[in-house]
C-alpha cells in the first residue's frame, strides 16, 4: 500500500508517525552543527518546506522530548552521523509568526502577547526553580500584564530561565519571521512593527537561533539590533538543497506514485535555480503526485498580495518589463541582498521590484554575467508554467478591478480571434474600450492593455504570442499564432483623435509595406 502524502502537514512528528511520504532532509542537522551556526536566516519562497524544517529541528534537539522522539529519526540520514548524539540535547523556544497577519498594529501586538503567553504556559515547570521576583516576571507573561519593554525581552528572559533549569543553552527557532513585517507594510503600520525589536543580541544563554522567511534580514526587521545574522538565501552555495526537491528527489517521489518526470512536469514545476542547483517546487510536486493533474497549485495558495501591489501600482514603463517576462523573455537586473520594504515603496525602480519577485520565488536565474567594467549582473525569467499562470491571473484581476472588464468578456474576445469572428471581436471591443479613461490614451498603454486581453493565449502551449519583434523590414506591435500553423494574426496599434478609418488603412499599409507578416508566411500560416 502506498504511503499518503503530507499535504498541508508541516509537523515533523506527525509526518513520521503517520508514515507519510517524507523526503529526508535531516542531513542539514549535521551541516548546522559542523558549521557552528549562531544566528541564521534561511530565506526561501513560501511553500518550500520551511515550516517542516523548523519542526524537524525542534523534534531533534528539544530536550523536553528526551526518550520520546528517538524513533522519529530511525533510518534517516542524521541517525548515521557522528552528531546523532546531540538528539534531545538542548531546551528549545519555537515561535511561528505566520498568524501575525492582523490589519492593525494594536491587534497584532495583542496576538503576539497571546503567543508569548502560550509559550510560557507550556513551560510552567520552570516555576519550581524560580525565586519570587522571577516568578512575578514569569506570571506577568502568563497573565498578559507585562509592559512593552518586558515583551521585547520575553525570549531572552525565557532562555535565561531555561538555562537555570537545564544548565544548557537554548536553541531559538522562529518560523516566517517576516510575515508581520509584510502585513505592516501592506496595511500601513510598518514603522510600528519594525520599532518593536525582540532582542536576541548578546544573549549568552542562546546556543544558536534559526529564523525562516521569504525576505532577507537587512537594515530593518523585527530583530533590528542583530548585526551578526548569517543569511542563507537562494543565491548562496550553502544549504541550496535543503528546501525544495532536487531533480533526483522529485524523480524518486513521482516514480513511487507511478508518475514520470517528463517535459510537461518540468515545464510546469521546474525552473528554479538555487546557486546552480536545479530545484522543484515541493508543494506543487506533492499536489501533482496526489491528484495526477498538471495545474498550478503553488500560485493558488495565499501570499500574492505584495506581488499584486507591486505590479498594480508600478509605472507604465515597468509594466513593459512584466510584458516581456510574460512573453518568455529574460530581463537584466542587479541583485541586491540588502533591499528592504522601504525600497519597495519606490515603485519607479524596476530593480527593487525585480529583487522582490526574485527573492519571493516568482523569478529565477537564467544566467549570470559580468560587464566590461566588472559589474556583476544576472538575467531572470519566469521559472515555469505556474508562475506564468500567476502573472496572467494578476493581469485579469487588474483588468477586472481597474477597468471593470469581466473575465468572460476577455474569453469572448480571445474566442473571436481564434475563430476569425470579426463581428464577435468588434462587439466585444465595443463593450471593453469605453471603460478606458481618456488619460490612458498612449499607444504604449493600449499595447499593454491588449496584451492583457490576450491572457488566455499567454500560458497556453498551443499558442505563441510575440510583442515588438523584428519581422520583414520592421517591428510589429503584436503577433499571435497557433502552434499547429492554422491561425496567425498581426496587430499594428495606432492612436488618433481624428479619422479612424484613415489611420486604420495606414496601419494596414504599414503591415504590408514593412512585410510584418513575413514570420507568419515563413511558417506557411493562414493570415487574416
In this structure, the chain runs to a length of 528
**First-to-last CA distance in the chain?**
56
Residue burial 499-508, b: 16+ Cβ < 10 Å; e: rest = eeeeeeeebe
Rounded to the nearest 10°, the torsion over CA 148, 149, 151, 154 is -170
Which domains, from first to last, does the chain contain?
Answer: 12-232 (3.40.50), 245-300 (no CATH), 305-385 (1.10.10), 405-522 (no CATH)
Those residues with Cβ within 8 angstroms of residue 495's Cβ, 6 or more apart along the chain or in another chain: 441, 442, 443, 446
The alpha carbons of the chain give a radius of gyration, in whole angstroms, of: 27
Those residues with Cβ within 8 angstroms of residue 472's Cβ, 6 or more apart along the chain or in another chain: 514, 515, 516, 517, 518, 519
Cell of 13: 512528528
Q: How many CB atoms lie within 10 A of CB 73?
A: 22
Q: What is the pLDDT of residues 100-138, one digit of tens each?
A: 999 999 999 999 999 999 999 999 999 999 999 999 999
CA distances from 208 to 32, 42, 163, 204 (A): 10, 13, 13, 10
DSSP state of 2: P
Helices (H), 292-437: 305-313, 316-326, 341-344, 350-359, 385-403, 407-418, 422-432
User: Can you give the pLDDT of all 528 residues of the chain as single tens digits?
Assistant: 899 999 989 999 999 999 999 999 999 999 999 988 888 889 898 889 999 999 999 999 999 999 899 999 999 999 999 999 999 999 999 999 999 999 999 999 999 999 999 999 999 999 999 999 999 999 999 999 999 989 989 999 999 999 999 999 999 999 998 899 888 888 889 888 877 765 566 578 999 999 999 876 554 455 555 556 788 888 888 888 999 999 999 999 999 999 999 999 998 998 898 888 899 999 999 999 999 999 888 876 666 676 777 776 766 667 778 777 877 888 888 887 766 666 666 656 788 888 888 888 889 988 887 777 777 778 999 999 888 877 777 766 666 665 556 777 778 888 887 787 888 888 887 777 665 554 445 555 566 667 667 766 766 777 878 777 777 677 777 788 877 777 778 877 777 777 777 888 887 888 888 877 776 776 544 443
Contacts 24+ apart (CB under 8 A), 476-485: 476/511, 476/514, 476/516, 477/447, 478/447, 478/450, 478/451, 478/454, 479/516, 479/519, 479/520, 480/417, 480/454, 481/520, 481/523, 481/525, 482/418, 485/523, 485/524, 485/525
Residue burial 402-422, b: 16+ Cβ < 10 Å; e: rest = ebebeeebbebbbebbbeeee
Q: What is the pLDDT of residues 353-374, one digit of tens each?
A: 888 888 888 899 888 877 777 7
**pLDDT on residue 334:** 81
Those residues with Cβ within 8 angstroms of residue 123's Cβ, 6 or more apart along the chain or in another chain: 158, 161, 162
**pLDDT on residue 524:** 47
Amino acid at each position: 500500500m502506498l504511503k499518503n502524502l503530507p499535504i498541508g502537514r508541516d509537523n515533523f512528528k506527525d509526518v513520521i508517525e503517520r508514515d507519510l511520504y517524507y523526503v529526508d532532509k535531516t542531513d542539514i542537522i549535521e551541516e548546522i552543527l559542523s558549521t557552528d551556526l549562531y544566528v541564521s536566516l534561511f530565506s526561501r519562497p513560501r511553500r518550500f518546506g520551511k515550516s517542516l524544517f523548523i519542526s524537524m529541528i525542534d523534534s531533534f534537539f528539544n530536550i523536553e522530548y528526551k526518550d520520546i522522539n528517538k524513533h522519529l529519526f530511525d533510518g534517516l540520514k542524521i541517525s548515521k552521523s557522528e552528531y546523532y548524539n546531540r538528539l534531545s540535547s538542548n531546551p528549545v523556544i519555537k515561535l511561528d509568526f505566520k498568524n501575525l497577519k492582523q490589519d492593525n498594529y494594536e491587534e497584532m501586538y495583542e496576538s503576539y502577547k497571546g503567543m508569548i503567553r502560550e509559550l510560557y504556559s507550556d513551560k510552567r515547570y520552570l516555576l519550581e526553580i524560580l525565586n519570587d521576583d522571577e516568578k512575578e516576571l514569569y506570571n506577568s507573561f502568563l497573565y498578559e500584564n507585562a509592559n512593552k519593554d518586558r515583551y521585547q525581552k520575553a525570549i531572552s528572559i525565557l532562555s535565561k530561565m531555561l538555562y537555570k533549569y537545564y544548565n544548557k543553552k537554548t536553541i531559538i527557532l522562529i518560523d516566517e519571521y517576516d510575515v508581520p513585517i509584510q502585513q505592516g507594510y501592506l496595511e500601513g503600520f510598518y514603522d510600528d512593527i519594525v520599532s518593536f525589536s525582540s532582542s536576541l543580541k548578546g544573549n549568552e544563554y542562546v546556543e544558536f537561533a534559526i529564523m525562516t522567511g521569504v525576505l532577507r534580514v537587512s537594515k530593518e526587521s523585527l530583530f533590528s539590533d542583530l548585526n551578526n545574522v548569517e543569511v542563507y538565501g537562494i543565491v548562496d552555495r550553502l544549504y541550496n538543497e535543503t528546501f525544495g526537491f532536487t531533480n533526483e528527489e522529485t524523480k524518486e517521489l513521482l516514480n513511487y506514485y507511478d508518475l514520470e518526470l517528463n517535459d510537461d512536469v518540468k515545464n510546469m514545476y521546474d525552473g528554479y535555480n538555487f546557486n546552480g542547483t536545479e530545484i522543484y517546487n515541493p508543494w506543487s510536486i506533492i499536489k501533482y503526485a496526489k491528484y495526477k493533474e498538471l495545474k498550478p497549485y503553488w500560485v493558488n495558495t495565499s501570499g500574492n498580495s505584495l506581488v499584486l501591489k507591486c505590479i498594480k501600482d508600478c509605472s507604465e514603463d515597468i509594466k513593459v518589463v512584466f510584458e516581456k517576462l510574460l512573453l518568455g523573455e529574460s530581463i537584466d537586473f542587479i541583485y541586491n541582498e540588502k533591499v528592504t520594504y522601504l525600497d519597495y515603496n519606490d515603485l519607479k525602480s524596476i530593480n527593487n521590484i525585480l529583487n522582490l519577485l526574485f527573492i519571493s520565488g516568482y523569478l529565477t536565474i537564467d544566467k549570470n554575467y559580468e560587464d566590461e567594467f566588472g559589474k556583476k549582473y544576472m538575467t531572470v525569467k519566469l521559472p515555469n508554467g505556474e508562475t506564468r499562470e500567476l502573472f496572467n491571473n494578476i493581469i485579469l484581476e487588474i483588468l477586472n478591478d481597474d477597468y471593470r472588464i469581466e473575465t468572460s468578456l476577455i474569453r469572448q474576445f480571445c474566442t473571436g480571434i481564434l475563430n476569425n469572428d470579426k463581428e464577435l471581436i468588434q462587439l466585444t471591443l465595443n463593450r471593453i474600450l469605453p471603460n478606458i479613461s481618456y488619460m490612458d490614451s498612449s499607444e504604449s498603454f493600449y499595447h499593454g492593455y491588449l496584451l492583457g486581453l490576450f491572457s488566455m493565449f499567454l500560458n497556453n502551449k498551443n499558442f505563441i504570442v510575440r510583442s515588438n519583434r523584428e519581422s520583414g523590414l520592421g517591428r510589429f506591435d503584436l503577433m499571435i499564432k497557433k502552434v499547429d500553423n492554422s491561425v496567425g494574426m498581426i496587430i499594428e496599434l495606432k492612436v488618433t483623435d481624428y479619422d479612424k478609418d484613415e489611420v486604420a488603412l495606414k496601419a494596414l499599409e504599414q503591415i504590408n509595406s514593412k512585410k510584418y507578416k513575413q514570420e507568419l508566411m515563413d511558417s506557411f500560416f493562414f493570415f487574416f
